[in-house]
Amino acid sequence: MPKGLDSADRKLLIGAGILLIAVLIASAVISPQKTEGGQGFPSTYSAAWDGATAAFLLLRDSGYNVERWENAPAEIPGDHANEVLILAEPVIPPTSEDRAAIREFLQGGGRILATGSSAAKLLPDAPSFTEGDELDEPKTFAPQMPSPLAAHAPEIKMLAPQNWQPQASSQLVIYGNKDTAAVINYQAGRGEVIWWGANTPLTNGGIRDASNLALFLNSVGPANGTRILWDEYFHGAHGSLWAYMRQTPLPWGMLQIGLVFLAIVLTFSRRLGPIRMPAKISRLSPLEFVETLGDLYATRHAGAAAVHIAHHRLRFLLTRQLGLAPDVPAADLARGASEALGWKLDLFLGTLERAERAERIVELSDEESLQLTQEIFDYTTRLEVRRTQPSERRTE
């Protein structure tokens, strides 16, 4: 019966189990949580009153090229001229790299639709303000000047910001009243910033009020040729663990670790199999003697010696079989073998004459010596087989 696990194998399995549990826990923690309850910010994953699932699905079903963006702004690829980035009340504090990526996005001609006072930390030249109380009722705002953003939207409803007054002359108040601005628009580099004072017009509960839907569609622009990235990175959704690992050499490292682990498992399984001693070839084996002798001949290029030994063995056996003198000439030996054994005279005589000439050559090529030795060995084998047949018949 196989023995139990030894200490080394037990440590290996325990370590692999701990590593697997750690990976599962990290995946559960890092993966975005798609909840249905209120989150306090307009997430496209939320179907609550203050969520933004309705606006996201509306764009997708209306033929817009819209997708959730769960990576840092610096990872937005391609030309930004036909891209729209929606920053719906970002709640994660941005880094200096994030702010630089937003400026680069605008310099490349991108459009940003931002909502809420927290967007001021990301937008260039953005004045800070205080948002209205969520317990207050949304107020109605009318256009303050002609703008494509106000097309088919004579009024909108949103939570009123508290005394939001843009400082730069380039920042135009599109919607507002005498107390505060509600929607401003300004150019940044080759790009454009559309900034709402509150999220109300794109939330599940507010998109159907007044002309909020028209304002939302005017802000994102036409569907043809526009790519819309709805940010979830600043809502805490930084992509799944696998989405992050695919951009690193880690998958190849995991593959290599898996192959090593598989090799360890196979090695362990072989130790549990039946134990058989490996077969050992005796050093007295004739085959080893032949191989050793052949290596010596090959190393010394002593083909002539091999031909000499094989030739004299054949003459000894053949003269004894035919009753001829040991020093009989090659022609007489060939004629006797032809008459008694039926061998072809010209072929056998040619082999004998070549063997005699090879004995007088000091340096014989390996190819010629091998061919000649094989021919002599073939005649010797035929002779030995013929010699054993009569005795076998007598035994029978």
Rg of the chain, C-alpha, whole Å: 47
Asked if residue 107 has pLDDT above 70, the reply is yes
Angle (nearest 5°) at CA 359 between 347 and 362: 130
Asked if residue 68 has pLDDT above 70, the reply is yes
- The answer to whether 270 and 335 have CB atoms below 8 angstroms apart is no
Domain boundaries, the chain: 26-245, 286-384
At 346, is the secondary structure helix, strand, or coil? helix
**pTM passes above 0.75:** no
Asked if residue 248 has pLDDT above 90, the reply is no
- The answer to whether 219 and 85 have CB atoms below 8 angstroms apart is no
* Confidence class for position 33, pLDDT limits 50, 70, 90: very low
Question: What's the DSSP call for residue 284?
Answer: T
- One-letter amino acid identity for 92? I
- The answer to whether 326 and 319 have CB atoms below 8 angstroms apart is yes
Pick the closest to residue 379 from 344, 329, 335 (CA basis).
344
- The answer to whether 362 and 305 have CB atoms below 8 angstroms apart is no
Side by side, the strands of the sheet bearing 111-115 are 65-69, 227-231, 83-88, 111-115, 191-196, 181-188, 172-176, 139-143, 156-158
Mean pLDDT within 50-73: 93
- The answer to whether 159 and 132 have CB atoms below 8 angstroms apart is yes
Could you report the per-residue pLDDT of 308-347, keeping only the tens digit for each?
A: 888 888 888 888 888 888 888 888 888 888 888 888 888 8
CATH T-level topology, domain 26-245: Rossmann fold (3.40.50)
Could you report the per-residue pLDDT of 141-180, keeping only the tens digit for each?
A: 999 999 999 999 999 999 999 889 888 889 999 999 999 9
Distances, alpha carbon 371 to alpha carbons 198, 289, 343, 374, 379, in Å = 98, 21, 19, 5, 13
**What would the two tokens of residue 243 be?**
């989405």
Q: What is the pLDDT of residue 285?
A: 61
Asked if residue 256 has pLDDT above 60, the reply is yes
**What would the two tokens of residue 204 be?**
């599940």
What span, in angstroms and rounded, lies between the C-alpha atoms of 91 and 100? 18
Q: What is the pLDDT of residue 181?
A: 94
As a whole number, the mean pLDDT across the chain is: 82
What span, in angstroms and rounded, lies between the C-alpha atoms of 266 and 222? 60
Asked if residue 36 has pLDDT above 50, the reply is no
Pick the closest to residue 40 from 121, 139, 116, 153 (CA basis).
116
Q: What is the pLDDT of residue 386?
A: 67
For the chain, the first-to-last Cα distance in angstroms comes to 52
Cα 65 versus chain centre, distance: 28
Q: What is the pLDDT of residue 73?
A: 93
What span, in angstroms and rounded, lies between the C-alpha atoms of 263 and 284? 38
Asked if residue 391 has pLDDT above 90, the reply is no
Question: What's the DSSP call for residue 78?
Answer: S
* Confidence class for position 282, pLDDT limits 50, 70, 90: low
* Confidence class for position 38, pLDDT limits 50, 70, 90: very low
Pick the closest to residue 138 from 208, 39, 38 (CA basis).
208
Strands 172-176 and 139-143, sheet pairing? antiparallel
Pick the closest to residue 75 from 250, 235, 236, 229 (CA basis).
229
Asked if residue 47 has pLDDT above 80, the reply is yes
Q: What is the pLDDT of residue 287?
A: 66
341's enclosing H/E stretch is helix 330-341
* Confidence class for position 394, pLDDT limits 50, 70, 90: very low
What span, in angstroms and rounded, lies between the C-alpha atoms of 302 and 306? 7
Q: What percent of the chain has pLDDT over 90?
A: 37
What span, in angstroms and rounded, lies between the C-alpha atoms of 301 and 298? 5
Asked if residue 24 has pLDDT above 90, the reply is no
Could you report the per-residue pLDDT of 182-198, keeping only the tens digit for each?
A: 999 999 989 999 999 99
Asked if residue 93 has pLDDT above 80, the reply is yes
What span, in angstroms and rounded, lies between the C-alpha atoms of 51 and 279? 75
Q: What is the pLDDT of residue 94?
A: 93
